[in-house]
Structure 1
Amino acid sequence: MSDKTRLFAELSYNGTGFHGWQVQPNAITVQEVLDKALSTILREEIETVGCGRTDTGVHAKQFYAHFDLSNPRPDLSGNPVFLSRLNSLLPPQIAVKQLLNMAPDAHARFDATLRSYEYHIHFQKDPFKQNLSWLLRDMPDIDPMNEAAAILLEYTDFSCFSKSNTQVFTNNCKISRAEWVNTADGLVFHISADRFLRNMVRAIVGSLMMVGKGLLKPADIHDIIESKNRSNAGSSVPACGLYLTEVRYPYFTH
């Protein structure tokens, strides 16, 4: 029997005011705040491992992180009292939804099989969407944008949409959904893949917006992807409209 307890924390957060998920010097991050709260309540040094990293200002409706305790603690999983105490130590922008006992080798990042994001756009000034959606003046043409988005599913190498100088072994990703949907007050871009590169979704949205504005043709997406050159893709859109919405694992029922 293992002498430690590995737990998954499912959480959500409003990324406004945080410099992303991952701990970094001289900046407040979600991971830093969560680790401090867990260390305080559990009375031992906790270092979480997230399912990925979100950039400054990006939000998460669903995010998983795992962490280890030095001694077995089966009483934490599904414990509403402990969960309430933990959330009381966290700021309003971060909420832990549940804690789950996991196998000692379960990994929040490497075991994830699918991640989904949404990008939100609105077209009329709305104080309740400040820092939560991207305000645009003119409506783009959604039909060619969806034609261009469908091309993404034909490729796996997305070097052209990756932030430069990232420490990854491969720029390959398998996209299973890429679609723009009209909403009552704007547009939402839905995208799902087995993994994402840094800044990838915001670069894709920026490129598709160029199609929607008539600056590119849908077929130009082929050339951009095949170039493997970030400078050929569109500019990254603002972080405020981006949400991580779902993370899937083989051992959870969906």
Structure 2
Amino acid sequence: MRYFIDIAYNGTAYCGWQNQPNALAVQEVLEKALSTLLGTEIAVTGAGRTDAGVHAKQLLAHFDAEEMEDVQNLLHRLNSFLPKDISVQDIFRVKDDAHARFDAEAREYEYHITLKKDPFVEGLAYLVNNEPDVSKMNEAAQSLLKYQDFQCFSRSKTDVKTYYCTITKAHWERKENLLIFTISANRFLRNMVRAIVGTLLEIGYGKLTLEDFHKIIESKNRSNAGASAPAHGLYLTKVVYPKTIKM
């Protein structure tokens, strides 16, 4: 039987979601926990991969196992077994051909910036010394919805078939001393959100104009965009699937 598992994690201690030979990944920790509790080797496939230090408020993955009558019991046992920086939000049965990565219709990220030193968001938000112009950043963010080719924000030497993404939401808002950037799309390129945030900050600080931003996107050249914002401010917050995947 195929199951989806909904997890959240603080990515500080991990090399990212995906298994790597010489570093600890969230995928490895989850697979070991499931294999131990279910008494058989379990492989999990995630909706996507987050980079080293990036967090997730929601990441969906699928795994195959014998039919379980009490899924909630496994959920509670997993949360007792997993380290404190990984939690399971839900486990539910899906159709046998449901795929956590390929069936995802949309993904949403947030990037958190703190405007003052705050011990309660240390390692969870990017501290900046001066407040950027959020209205200019929002104006530029809205223009992202007019484009589809985002090669200029993709990590170099990435093996992808297309740089096309459909962005449906991109905006900044201020919540007390936090600036939060929310962006939704059908898919994202590696390093894309952090590169967008870094470039938007340059607009917020007056180093780039809106016209410059359009030229950067149209250039399809990563070296023209801004430096990537640090990983620890980034969160995968939502993965959307068609309702038809559930049993």
- Residue by residue over 1:23-52, the C-alpha shift from the partner in whole angstroms, topping out at 9 and shown as x without a partner, is 001101100000000000111111100000
Report matched runs for 1:66-81 at 5 Å.
66-69=62-65, 71=66, 73-76=67-70, 79-81=71-73
Unaligned runs of 5+ residues in structure 1 are none
Q: Does residue 1:248 correspond to 2:244, yes or no?
A: no
Report matched runs for 1:81-92 at 5 Å.
81-92=73-84
**Counterpart-to-counterpart distance in 2, 1:63 and 1:170:** 23
Which residue, out of 130, 133, 137, partners 1:141?
Answer: 133
**Higher mean C-alpha displacement, 242-251 vs 80-89:** 80-89
- Residue by residue over 1:124-164, the C-alpha shift from the partner in whole angstroms, topping out at 9 and shown as x without a partner, is 11111111000010000011111111110000010000001
Q: Does residue 1:18 correspond to 2:14, yes or no?
A: yes
- Residue by residue over 1:72-109, the C-alpha shift from the partner in whole angstroms, topping out at 9 and shown as x without a partner, is x1424xx3222111111100000011111111110001
What amino acid does structure 2 have at the position aligned with 1:226? Answer: E
Q: What does residue 49 of structure 2 align with?
A: 53
Report SS of the residue matched to 1:34: helix
State the TM-score, normalizing by the size of structure 1.
0.94
What amino acid does structure 2 have at the position aligned with 1:56? Answer: A
Report matched runs for 1:32-47 at 5 Å.
32-47=28-43
**Counterpart-to-counterpart distance in 2, 1:252 and 1:75:** 22
Q: How many pairs are equivalent?
A: 245
**Counterpart-to-counterpart distance in 2, 1:18 and 1:191:** 23
Q: Do 1:74 and 1:101's aligned partners in 2 also have CA atoms closer than 8 Å?
A: no
Unaligned runs of 5+ residues in structure 2 are none
Which residue, out of 199, 204, 209, partners 1:207?
Answer: 199
Report SS of the residue matched to 1:127: coil
What amino acid does structure 2 have at the position aligned with 1:75? Answer: E
What amino acid does structure 2 have at the position aligned with 1:66? Answer: H
Report SS of the residue matched to 2:142: helix
Report SS of the residue matched to 2:102: coil
**Higher mean C-alpha displacement, 96-105 vs 28-37:** 96-105
Report SS of the residue matched to 2:79: helix
What amino acid does structure 2 have at the position aligned with 1:97? Answer: Q
Q: What does residue 61 of structure 2 align with?
A: 65
Report SS of the residue matched to 2:213: helix
Q: Name segments (4+ residues, structure 1) moved above 4 Å.
A: none
Question: 1:186 deviation in Å?
Answer: 2.1
Question: 1:252 deviation in Å?
Answer: 6.9
RMSD over equivalenced CA pairs, Å: 1.2
Q: What does residue 28 of structure 1 align with?
A: 24
**Counterpart-to-counterpart distance in 1, 2:55 and 2:184:** 16
- Percent sequence identity over aligned pairs: 56
Q: What does residue 86 of structure 2 align with?
A: 94
**Counterpart-to-counterpart distance in 2, 1:82 and 1:210:** 47
- Residue by residue over 1:176-231, the C-alpha shift from the partner in whole angstroms, topping out at 9 and shown as x without a partner, is 01101011112100100000000000000000000000000012111111111100
**Counterpart-to-counterpart distance in 2, 1:233 and 1:200:** 11
State the TM-score, normalizing by the size of structure 2.
0.97
Q: What does residue 192 of structure 1 align with?
A: 184
